[in-house]
Amino acid sequence: MRMRKTIMFLVLGGVLAFSTGCGSNASQSATNAEVTSAAPVGETTKVEATAGKVKDGDDKILVGLSQCHFNTPYRVALIDEFKAEVERQGLNWEVIATDGQNNPLKQIADLEDLISKGCDIIICSPAQADPLTPIAKTIMDAGIPLILVDRTINSDDYTAFVGGDNVHAGEVVAQYILDHLGEEANVVEIQGTLGASATNDRHEGFRNALNGHDGIKIIDDQTADYKRDMALTLMENLLQAHDEIDVVYSHNDNMAVGCINPIQSAGRTNDILLFGIDGQKEAFDAIKNGTMTGSVFYPTGAVEAVELAKKILDGETVEKVNMMETPLITIENVDEWYDKGF
């Protein structure tokens, strides 16, 4: 049968809607899916279609894509990759992407609206773990499967998680410092959004790996909220406050790139190892030209989220936790990973 596609974009009040359509009846998915098992981490979750709720091939599946914000390259890449994969597969989905504006209250309101709209499945990257935990239970209690992408909450009230290993991301940076600087270094840590699970884990992995190495001193630790402009100003202040900085560990590439100009202006590029996390091509370029030392590649998980959603909507068993590789990219392997950056 000849395929037809329609694509619609709407940006209104922080909501981006887009849809793709396919005239074929070859694939039918379930709506109002019911989670029959809240499996512990490491186990599988069985999701079954509610009887009598199967849509025919011409009815769109309504998918909520709740994002903590739209304002970093990583987040934009996640949304774009999700949208592109839905379109590439010709899925009969209408996707409503909402911008939480890095405000938990705004994101909770977004999720309440997605529930009221009758979403068949919701995919969420929580702004912060604690405030978003209760609304996750509300979603699950409503019989709507919930996929967490990149970030988690403080309960098991979700169907599946997919994302990179944030603890490991911090660990590999710490190990590089130990391998190349030995037992003495002055380190600055620039954290992301406080309370976000990614921030917590990137901090925990880094600090735990340095435990027992008393010569590695964390001389300053502040947040720039994953924002480049905040990191730039913060780095300027840190350089004035500290005469000796050997390492800057930034929780994302966006902030790390923001640190480059202040470090260059201070004439300290050759003295400071600068690390980020995500895998932006801008960071990879900086590694190539010597203004950054490394970036931990952190996959968006968007394509994988689409695949999980398809399985869940079809009533298949899925893994509860789907952890993705987070390797450290340096001058030694940046060419190999460059095309995977965003």
Instruction: For residue range 72-96, list pLDDT tens digits in order.
Output: 999 999 999 999 999 999 999 999 9
CB 282 within 8 A of CB 96: no
Task: Please tell me whether residue 153 adopts helix, strand or coil conformation.
Answer: coil
Closest of 279, 270, 284 to residue 334, by C-alpha: 284
Report the percent of the chain where pLDDT is more than 90.
Answer: 82
Structure tokens at 170: 């911090």
Reported as half-sphere exposure (CB side, CA atoms, 13 A), residue 101 has a value of: 9
Q: Give the span between the Cα atoms of 258 and 276, in whole angstroms.
A: 10
Predicted pLDDT of residue 16: 54
Q: Which of 2-16, 128-142, 226-240 has the least mean pLDDT?
A: 2-16
Mean pLDDT of the chain: 88
Tell which wins on pLDDT, 58 or 285.
285
Report the percent of the chain where pLDDT is more than 70.
Answer: 83
CB 73 within 8 A of CB 256: no
**How far does Cα 267 stand from its chain's mean position?**
33
Predicted pLDDT of residue 3: 30
Q: Give the span between the Cα atoms of 21 and 7, in whole angstroms.
A: 8
Tell which wins on pLDDT, 276 or 24.
276
Predicted pLDDT of residue 6: 31
CB 164 within 8 A of CB 301: yes
Reported as half-sphere exposure (CB side, CA atoms, 13 A), residue 293 has a value of: 20
Structural domains in the chain, sorted by start = 61-164+300-324 (3.40.50.2300), 166-299+331-340 (3.40.50.2300)
Confidence of residue 157 (pLDDT cuts 50, 70, 90): very high
Q: Is the pLDDT confidence value at 291 over 70?
A: yes
Predicted pLDDT of residue 59: 85
